[in-house]
Structure 1
Amino acid sequence: MKNFILFLSSILLTGVVNAQDSLTVFYRIRLDQDIDKAAQRLVVTGLEKAAENDADYVILDLDTYGGAVDAADSIRTALLRYPKPVIAYVNLQAASAGALISIACDSIYMKTGSSIGAATVVDQSGKVMPDKYQSFMRGMMRSTASATGRDPHIAESMVDTANVLSLTPEEAVKVGYCEGIYEDEVEVAEAVSGDKEFVIKNMEDDMTWVDRLIQFLLNPLLQSIFMMMIIGGIFVEIRTPGIGLPLVTAIVGALLYFAPGYVGHLAEHWEILMFVVGLILIGLEIFVIPGFGVCGISGIVIVVISLALAMVDNVEFHRWDGTFSLEPVLMPLGIVILSATAAIFGSVWLVRKLYTTKTFDHIALRQEMKASEGFTGVVSGLETLVGETVEVFTDMRPSGKVKTSDGRILEATLKFGGFASKGQPLKVLSAEQGRLYCDFISA
């Protein structure tokens, strides 16, 4: 009896395993946004989750008018390297960078009324870019079409600035750029799986709150705001030294700017390290080194460059061939400079606006203190200290505080520059506007 039960159990388990083996799993990734860093992370993460779910096919549900070429190139590379078949389902539009992404898939299916093509490279205002950009895009379209077994000349025609090519579903079927016209993903899955049973899993169901938060923070508009927080906070902190709200704003902006890219593998360690080094140099200029010179300017330049490089796809650096080109960096650098300009002007306007509000009256003293009422803005009677010896009370670089023989603590400056340590004796040379001007005592 015991042997019979074991035999029956083995038959049932074998049936379950065979049923699971016969089930075709499709994994759907919905891409209905501009092609940018957020879209890049969405597709790459989706492919990883598809592999975790052991999906037989990936359906990339496309509806996009295009976007950044570097992000599209990264998505293209990820699709070409994915070991399982990837199906592009053009739900409505696969224009520009969307066309490149579609061609990188193993098969293309389209919905009635959709289109694919129009991959001419344009700037953010819609102006056609110079021919060298078009040449790069044409080469990428040709190589992608060849890699997926399609006519490279048709792909190249989609970049033609004179007669740009866009294909309807019927036209795409005729030239081999579409395997079929279906109204939804279920019909596509039925056509691909044949007689086998299938299930469609959605990436949205596998996304955690962390994934959704990262996608939200990678929004280009939010990234620009974070950039303005960083630069505006640093600018105000330089103008009004001291650890306060501007510095906290800059730190929060930096965390929100770099953290999503780092967690999403879009920002490298060295880019964040560059930013930190730039902040350290700026901090040294504010709190340690007097004036504002090479250290501070170097820090600002490094911060700006690190912010720009964090926007550049790291694929550009990984495949470096020994030559250097500024082209991948020019647009991010322009965005950083524009954001910096907006942040500086915005900070100046905000400070002035805040100063005129009634709320500011509670945190700032506006009352006029007249000399006739006994108030004075500077310490008087310092002329009597000329020729006297004073002791350095705080390190002078070259300004600081000194202690007089009668115990008073006064502002002082080394007249001829230099540094003086606490406890060192100095000679008072002159006194002007409440400040002593001193020099070292000759041996």
Structure 2
Amino acid sequence: MKLFVRIFSTLLVLAAFCFADTTSITPVDSTKTATDSVITQETKKHAVWIKLEGDVEPSMYDFCARAIDDALQENPDYIVFEINTFGGRLDAAFDIVDTIMAVKGPTTIALVKKKAISAGSLIALACQKLYMLEATTIGDCAPIVQGGDGTPQIVGEKIQSPLRAKFRNLAQRNGYPELLSSAFVTPELEILELTATLDKGKKSQRDTTLIIEGSKYSVLDSAAKAFWGAPKILVKEGELLTMTDKEAQELGFSKGTFKDRSEFETALAIESRSEVETTLGEDIASAIAAIAGILLILGFGALYIEFKTPGFGLFGIIGIILIGIVFLGQFAPQLDGYIPAILLVAGVALFLVEIFVMPGTFLFGVGGIACMILALALSYSPADIPDYVPEAVEESFDATPWLFGLLYMLTCAAIALVFPIAASKYLIPLLPEGWTPMLKTDLETAASPTEAVQEVSVGDEGIAKTFLRPVGQALINGKLFDVQTHGEIIEASTRIKVTAVQEGHIWVTVAKAEMEG
């Protein structure tokens, strides 16, 4: 009997262990509530911000593609595209849209900061979700070109059709109103909203709405029109759909409106975030793209003037430089790490042009020095900031170490100027009488620009003392003057003849006797 009791007791204990809820032995923190656990779980969201601001250009696409690649490395929950643009080039917008649509994993979100107009609205709808800040707008994506009279004109159906198809595709993919999306592009559409009450007078009474084209509503029979009642015009014929933040939410585009970024992050339970910054090359490409038209106009204008004047001179060099800037601006993002070296080489080249090709103009010399200073400044990194710089100051330059480099070199240049200024004021007066650091011949022969008008006349002849490329110096009537040719290059020691004297400038050419010889 005792043996039976022992066996039965043992089996009972084993059964208790087998069927017991093992979760009951997990330690529980009595200070935590259900709300706390939900917040803890939700606040583990991580977002990466990508700002799309300014004109939609190929440079924006280059940045967007790189930024998305960088963002995916962080394995975020959200990729937030903060949009603020009046639009731009459709080809660049299509490339950006395709890049956003190719994102796998994180939820893509468009947050309209101020405006998403034209191509900006296309980019916004490429994202899976759309949110807007207060007092923002979105819409108006009709493609336009400049007409013959200089006024902007909406392009024809050949361009509108594929653009409408793109909007419909994005609407179908991301759950936006499809018909209203077409009204972003085509002003000929009239969009109406119809509302009817179902099961009127019953507990199940409810309203239903229908968005329809005006042309389709006009062909409804009287019974159907009576059922739906008076229509509400959402988009008038001849107008493009442009919505405020509230209208976008009412019409089913926006998921919500927020006062600022902080409120947006709280609503989406974003606990941590990072932001992809533009590189120096991308900033340069964006800046050049913004003024590319002006640079091209000035560049071709300078080349036209050069073609109308003999030889090759200042305007030809300026034209080539301006057009070259526009061309190389397309490759600035790819050359980001080489920009300081490129600037240094460009600075040295400009300085050599000032010395050997066009002496006396100062334009190329100043430009060369500026390029070299900027190159050295951009080569600075946070590690280059000296240890003696206070920590608070060093932290302020962490994001822009090049600015510290620029200030550092300008300070050195200012200190370097102290010695010659002090020497001219205090040291030179102590030198023996008659002694000067300048060459005596220069003092005796140099002439001021005003003397050129008084002492040099058309037809006077002299000797070129330096190479005239086309600017240089010549000895005329026993004095040294700055002179300029009409574009030709004249070697030193060549006999020259004055052809014009205008506003202190002396224009010369090779003397006739020299040419015959």
Q: Structure 1-normalised TM-score? A: 0.50
Q: Which has the larger radius of gyration?
A: 2
Which structure shows the bigger proportion of residues in strand conformation? 2
Q: Structure 2-normalised TM-score? A: 0.43
